[in-house]
Amino acid sequence: MRLIQAYFQDSSEKAVIAVVAEAEPIDWSVDTMSGRFGKSIEILIDDTISQNLLDKLQNVLTGSDDWRVVVLPVEATLPRIEETVTGPAEKSLKTANREELFQTIQKESTCNTDFIVLTVLSTIVAAIGLNSDSVAIVIAAMVIAPLLSPILAFTLGAALGDFSLMVRSAKTALIGFAIGFVTAFGLAHFMEVNIASGEMLDRTVLGWPVVALALASGAAAALTVTSRLSSALVGVMVAIALLPPSVAAAMFLASGNLQESLNAIVMLGLNITCTILSAQIIFLWKGVRPQSWLERQTAERSSRINLLVWAVLLFALFGYMISLST
């Protein structure tokens, strides 16, 4: 459930009430305010129809002098509400509101001090785990690495046609991978690189299982954030191996093993490409798109271009992978 609070001027009251009544929420009430807003309305509504109501409220209030809509998650309510959904909501997909998705993913994909420090720390942990052939340490590095969020933010930006979000998240991702690579390259000069480590060599083995795992993991990542399954996100971070191949590539390069370094970079490219492609498909399936018709046209064009570019890149990486096996 969601608690939607809308604040608006007196002149918009009738239109707002009409929209809310049409949505048939669980409960709602209107109050008079003493602040800069003349009226406020609180709406308790099921998740499956909250996006539709938010879009209609925005349509009604856009153009008025002053208004604001706030969306809050509802953990529990008394008396209990039976979770029975009828009518149009029955066919709705369990998807987080567009606005919630945007705020969450945008915040987590910002390149700030925390992001940089976490990237450096996770790189150190990954380098130690790879060099000592420790699966547990490598998994720990995957969990604390913050590189998945900007990848998902880039894909969400393509789904919404938000070019600025795509650029910001792409910059964040590139900075993160660059920091990880440089940090690992530097560490390799202060330790004896164990090129016989099984964990290191695993990041050079290319094949169809790598592609299948990356596609499934990318889809799981998008499904996790759109369905608000935060408890599953740690598992997704472990499944999508974004940091270890980058660290392995840097360490192989520092030790003079160019072919192994190249293979690790290709594995990283496959993981990123497959993650973006499958996440894009999930966002489309879950109906994550802008509100207005014009914005939707832009988003559809952005999604098509994004899918085409990454599909071409995937085929190119496929070609390299196949050439190694022949």
pLDDT value for 295: 67
pLDDT value of position 92: 44
- 229: pLDDT confidence band, cut at 50, 70 and 90? low
| Domain parsing of the chain, residue ranges | 2-91, 98-325
Residue 237 confidence (pLDDT)? 64
Q: Which residues pair with 69 in a beta bridge?
A: 6
pLDDT at 212: 87
Give the pLDDT confidence of 266-288 residue by residue, as tens digits: 999 999 999 999 989 988 888 77
The model's confidence at residue 234, banded by pLDDT at 50, 70 and 90, is low
Reported as a pLDDT band with limits 50, 70 and 90, residue 219 is confident
* Per-residue pLDDT tens over the stretch 13-40: 899 999 999 988 999 999 987 778 888 9
Q: What's the whole-number mean pLDDT along residues 214-236?
A: 74
Q: Is the confidence at residue 93, as pLDDT, over 60?
A: no
CB atoms within 10 A of CB 177: 18
- Which candidate, 179, 171, 188, places its Cα nearest to that of 130? 188
- Residues above pLDDT 70, as percent of the chain: 88
Instruction: Kindly state the average pLDDT of the residues 53-79.
Output: 86
> Which 3-state string (H, E, C) describes the chain?
CEEEEEEECHHHHHHHHHHHHHHCCCEEEEEECCCCCCEEEEEEECHHHHHHHHHHHHHHHCCCCCCEEEEEECCCCCCCCCCCCCHHHHHCCCCCCHHHHHHHHHHHCCCCHHHHHHHHHHHHHHHHHHHCCCHHHHHHHHHHCCCHHHHHHHHHHHHHCCHHHHHHHHHHHHHHHHHHHHHHHHHCCCCCCCCCCHHHHHCCCCCHHHHHHHHHHHHHHHHHHHCCCHHHHHHHHHHCCCHHHHHHHHHHHHCCCHHHHHHHHHHHHHHHHHHHHHHHHHHHHCCCCCCCHHHHHHHHHHHHHHHHHHHHHHHHHHHHHHHHHC
- Residue 34's pLDDT is 74
Q: What are 122-178's pLDDT values in tens digits? A: 999 999 999 999 999 998 888 888 888 899 899 988 888 888 889 999 999 999 999
| d(C-alpha 223, C-alpha 287), whole Å | 12
Which of 218, 217, 195, 214 has its CA nearest to residue 206?
Answer: 214
Q: Which residue has the higher pLDDT, 41 or 231?
A: 41
Total-model pTM: 0.75
The pLDDT, as a whole number, for residue 99 is 74
43-74 CB burial, b ≥16 within 10 A, e <16: bbbbbbbbbbbbbbbbebbeeeeebebebeee
User: Looking at the domain that runs over 2-91, which CATH code has it been given?
Assistant: 3.30.70.120
Both structure tokens of 155: 């894909």
pLDDT of residue 85: 45
pLDDT above 50 for 299: yes
Nearest to 52 by CA among 41, 42, 60: 60
